[in-house]
Amino acid sequence: ETLDWWGLRLRVRAHWQWDERWRLELEGWGERSVRTRLAADFHGVASNATVKPGAAGGQGRAVALSWCPSPRWRVSLTGHDSRQRYGESPAVPFVQNGQVAGSASYPGSVQRSRGLGLGLSVDWP
């Protein structure tokens, strides 16, 4: 499957640095699709089919806390949580051996992504 998604995203970021060593960054976003297409490849069993899910939208947030023990070293702890929703699509036919063999559609879905990371950055001369 290949998902093509074109849309608009509004992103808001804020950061606080309360001394030379500590920094907190917050980010939030919301998005809405302009065009969404999902192409399914049936691996030689039938022709590919492309469905167009209904309007997609999503939102998310992220936080990063970083500590700089020296100007060249940075240790950071990051986390994010995001969610996307896709609407249903109308059915489209797919072909097998030159004949319509059935139809494909997308039932709609909600997908969530959460993550936590630990990073180390070093600036080399």
For range 3-12, the mean pLDDT: 90
pLDDT at 27: 98
pLDDT at 16 over 80: yes
Beta bridge partners of 6: 35
pLDDT at 45: 63
The pTM (predicted TM-score) of the whole model is 0.73
* Mean pLDDT (the chain, rounded): 89
Number of other residues whose CB lies within 10 A of the CB of residue 19: 7
pLDDT tens readout for residues 78-113? 999 999 998 898 888 888 878 888 888 888 899 999
Beta bridge partners of 122: 73
Confidence of residue 51 (pLDDT cuts 50, 70, 90): confident
pLDDT at 106: 86
pLDDT at 60: 97
Number of other residues whose CB lies within 10 A of the CB of residue 60: 19
| % of the chain at pLDDT higher than 90 | 53
| % of the chain at pLDDT higher than 70 | 96
Beta bridge partners of 8: 32
pLDDT at 38 over 70: yes
